[in-house]
Structure 1
Amino acid sequence: MPYSHLNQPLVVANVHSLVTDILANTISFNETMDKLNGLYYPFMNHLNTELFYTQPVLAFFSSTQAIVGDTYPENVIWDHDKTKRFINILSCYKNDIENERQAFIYQESQNKRELECYVNNLSNHYSRLLFIRIDLKYAKETRHHVSIEDFDCHMRKFRELVSNKKTCFEYLQGNAWALEQGGVEGGLHCHLLLMYDGSKIQNDWYLAREVGEKWKMVTGGLGEYYNYHDKKTKQDYERNGKLGIGMIHQNNPIEVENALRTALYLTKPEKVDQYLKVKVSGMRTFGHGTFRTAKRRGLPPISK
């Protein structure tokens, strides 16, 4: 990958991976030196003090600055001596990086419990729910145009459409979403779960496509999506006894169990390499709708 063409999220993802590889001793000295020479200038060029970075990225910045100081980034050459010093200094941040990793695992565990309760409440309330799973992302050929600020803006606009419950969101009864970022490829994406009233709407493939097209509209054509609801994909899941999308019937325990498993993919504590490496201030990376509404049977009215 030509480092000079990396955009902000991609260069940050590469820096994050470099640091974790160094601390895990899974990268050679020469490869480290090559990557430092490729990544340092684009990283400094994209650096924005108003954004929030992961501990590995902060460790990269602090360690490099301790060595090269105020030298113009384009003039910095990472030779054998500088690279060795960088690796030595980086080890001082190992505890901070591990603490952040553990905090992520704990938060994902909390999110998992919260989402499980939410989905169970909905499944227990509706006799039929249409489960839609779709991944919202950016086309490979255009994602270098997308910054973390763009992603945050696109997601806010998209969630507003979901909340308005118009067009393809009309019969929506529940939703959950999780923002993630790939490893070295650095692709920003959203795992989305939508749960519709199954007595009102049935065509899951068509509905998923409509949702995906809304995402493309919000992103101005930069976005693309993965629709899990084509016939072959669903048949593969069904063959393996794991079909948890489409129409889920409350009186079918296997369907309900599979649907819950599908939902909980959004919150997997073991996916420690998938969290965002850079964030906008106040940016949420996980959320779901509210179950308690005045319309639901057996619940006291909501005070205003």
Structure 2
Amino acid sequence: MTHSLINQSQLINNIDRLVRDVVFQPIYFNDVRNRLNALYYPFMNSINHDLYYSQTVDSFVYSTDAIVGDLYPCDVIWDHDKTQQFVNNLAYYRNIIETEDNVWRQQEVQNKVNLEHYIRNLIKHYSRLLFVRVDLKYSQESSHLITIEDFNLHMTKLREFIGNKKTCFANLQGNAWALEQGGIEGGLHCHLLLIYDGAKRQNDWYLAKEVGEKWRSITENMGAYYNYHDAETKRRFEENGKLGIGMIHRDNPQQVENAVHTALYLTKPDKVDQQLKVWLPSMRTFGHGIYRTAKRRGLPPIAN
């Protein structure tokens, strides 16, 4: 694993936020200038042309390139005139940024439809299922070392473990995952849903802990995780009638609807600020298991 000398994710997240503020919000000129001076050199000094960037980041690059020309990034100082040019240049990219956001929202809507269909099929097929939710991320001490390449590698390994259905993934009947970048800490993270055969697995807190520790192992102890299954968290959801994790019984409509609602958190079209702003070619950001498999017993034949 090669480690970055800067916090790649946070830097790119800050550039995305700067561009969105300039394009969509009232401009505070001195703030824009200060942020340009803080962000321009470290990003241009670390840009990787083998990666894909969001339209906000590309717009940042195009807008600044048009101003600085052949100057080395280390020689660029964003004074009043250059900053004003930057603001003017970004205005040309507003429609392109909005188009990319709309495409992303439409994909999230389709992901939501597909995921709900998948979850409801599973619940109809099994009398009870154990729903386990874990958020996988990186520790504050390690997040600056993690690149998108590292994150992709870790997620690939995790999906291999899930597919093998051994150790903490034994008796797994369904899964879904969504990759995000941003939020309060601005880091790369994964929302993970695991659905176990409720006749063979019961202890959801312990399973979530095992999965989290598996993530820590995959990431060489740089990973961190959030376990939703402690008694206090579950009690709060239950008091509000919204508990959708733990054991879900097919014949309990409230549990079923809560479980579906919990699963669909992985596909929220309003979370534009948390879409990935950098990715590898062909990198997937969302996925779920397959309902119709040769090993799933009792399925009717597909109608011709």
Name the structure 2 match of 1:129: 129
Structure-to-structure mapping, 1:208-219, within 5 angstroms: 208-219=208-219
Mapped pair 1:72 → 2:72: yes
Q: Which deviates more from structure 2 when the two are superposed, residues 182-191 or residues 127-136? A: 182-191
1:194 equivalent in structure 2: 194
Cα separation, 2, equivalents of 1:141 and 1:244 = 32
Question: Which residue number corresponds to residue 181 of structure 1?
Answer: 181
User: SS of the residue aligned with 1:46?
Assistant: coil
Match of 1:241 in 2: 241
Q: Give 2:144's aligned residue.
A: 144
1:149 aligns to what SS in structure 2? helix
> Take 2:57 and 2:171, find their aligned partners in 1: how far apart are those partners?
42
Counting only pairs closer than 5 Å after superposition, residues 1-304 of structure 1 correspond to structure 2 as 6-183=6-183, 185-294=185-294, 295-300=296-301
2:224 is paired with a residue whose SS is strand
Q: 1:63 to 1:96 in 2, by over 3 A?
A: same
In structure 2, how many angstroms separate the alpha carbons of the residues matched to 1:280 and 1:247? 37
Pick which of 17-26 and 224-233 moved more: 17-26
The amino acid of 2:131's aligned partner reads F
CA distance in 2, matches of 1:121, 1:184: 34
Summarize the Cα distance change of 1:184–1:207 in structure 2 as closer, same or farther, 3 Å threshold. Answer: closer
Q: Is the 8 A contact 1:244 1:258 kept in 2?
A: yes
Rounded to whole Å, the distance in 1 between the matches of 2:206 and 2:184 is: 33
- Aligned to 2:45, the other structure's residue is in SS state helix
The total of aligned residue pairs comes to 298
Secondary structure, in 3 states, of the residue corresponding to 2:274?
Answer: coil
Taking the aligned partners of 1:240 and 1:298, their CA distance within structure 2 comes to: 35
Deviation at 1:18, TM superposition (A): 0.2
The structural deviation recorded for 1:27 is 4.3
The alpha carbon displacement at 1:141 in A equals: 1.5
**TM-score, normalisation: structure 1:** 0.96
- Following superposition, the deviation at residue 269 of structure 1 comes to 0.5
Shift of 1:299: 2.9
Secondary structure of the structure 1 residue equivalent to 2:153? helix
Preserved CA contact (<8 Å) 1:13 1:184: no
Does the residue aligned with 2:254 lie in a helix, a strand or coil? helix
The CA deviation string for residues 67-94 of structure 1, in whole angstroms up to 9 with x for no partner, is: 0012110110000000000000110001
Structure 1 SS opposite 2:12: helix
Seen in structure 2, the aligned counterparts of structure 1 residues 26 and 163 have a Cα distance that, compared at 3 Å, is: farther
Structure 1 residue 183, shift from structure 2 partner = 4.7
Instruction: Please state how far the C-alpha of 1:10 moved relative to its aligned partner.
Output: 1.4
Contact in 2 for aligned 1:122/1:174 (Cα 8 Å) = yes
Q: Quick check: 1:248–1:255 contact (8 Å CA) kept in 2? A: yes
Cα separation, 1, equivalents of 2:183 and 2:203: 34
Quote the Cα distance in structure 1 between the aligned partners of 2:269 and 2:167.
Answer: 34
The one-letter amino acid paired with 1:85 is: Q
Alpha-carbon distance, 1:8 to partner: 1.6
2:6–2:145 CA contact under 8 A, matched in 1: no
TM-score normalised according to structure 2 size: 0.96
In structure 2, the residue corresponding to 1:287 is in which secondary structure? Answer: strand
Is the contact made by 2:32 and 2:83 (CA closer than 8 Å) also made in structure 1?
yes
